[in-house]
Amino acid sequence: MKNLIKIKGDASFREFYRKKNKDFNSIVVYSKREKVKNLLIYDSINKILNKNKVLAPRLYLENYRNNYLEIQDFGNDTVFKIIRKNKNKKLFYFNKIIKLLNQIQSIKDRKVKNFKKNIYLIPEYKKKILIEEANLFCKWYVKKNKKKFTRKFNKIVKNLTLNLKLKNNFFVHRDFHVSNLMVVNKKLGIIDSQDALIGNKAYDLASLIDDVRFKTSTSFKKRIYNLYVDNQKGLNKYKFKNDFEILSILRNLKIIGIFTRLAIRDQKKKYLKLIPYTWSLINLRIDENLIFADLKELLKKNFKGKIK
């Protein structure tokens, strides 16, 4: 294909190319591995988002047989890039992001017809998936006493998932943070949506606030948390806080596992530098609820210096 310029990718198996067209640019997404998720499901979720007036890349052309899609080009301006250059804009954009999150969480659609003319139904974010994801920490990061640690860890994680209070009844992007949010003609657009599930209302807020890629102060985190919570009608704040803390910790344990896997399996070692801050985010939440006492003891015993 002519006029293709390879652009920066992400942690997935996808490759991205900017295509120079006569009147506009587009993005070619190529994925030979996991192409059902990275191409077919990705476009299906984007269709649902666009149907609900959430800006997501529109499909121009599908060539599934040859492992690629051609989609709308959102440019290069992630919110992460913009607020890192201009810190004074941070609160302005986080206000917009919370409004976008509310819009996403109001989505009631659960199914869509994909470009193969089949119905795609968004699956539920079941507790089993949360446990499997957290177990990536054991599989890839844990080195010493692996079997014994994994057995204790999984028992604790299962107990944490059983203590989640809220129902799985909201659209969850699952990677909702400033690197996946883009400024497109002064509006916010969202990318990387292929992992969306129907799950807990607190998950995407935990992903946004306790983002391992973008450091913010504890006071700023509290401010954004309150900005969201104070505008939620009928929200049980106790249940929500409980779930926010559990999901934040489980997510960041998963992320440590994923970043280690990327380094070992895929030779993508740039993510390793983010692991120390990921530990600090786990530290931030682990003392906020007595339910984490067993987890804290296990981590402290096996990872000296990581848990305070």
pLDDT higher than 70, residue 33: yes
Q: Write down the pLDDT at residue 273.
A: 97
Confidence of residue 24 (pLDDT cuts 50, 70, 90): confident
Q: Write down the pLDDT at residue 156.
A: 98
CA geometry: angle at 132 spanning 126 and 135, to 5°?
145
pLDDT higher than 90, residue 161: yes
pTM for the full model? 0.95
Q: Which residues contact 242 (CB under 8 A, 6 or more apart)?
A: 163, 164, 165, 289, 291
Fold of the domain spanning 77-302: Aminoglycoside 3'-phosphotransferase; Chain: A, domain 2 (3.90.1200)
User: Which residue, among 196, 303, 208, 289, has the nearest Cα to 251 in the 3D structure?
Assistant: 208
Q: What are the pLDDT digits (tens) for 241-272?
A: 999 999 999 999 999 999 999 999 999 999 99
What are the sequence ranges of the domains in the chain?
77-302
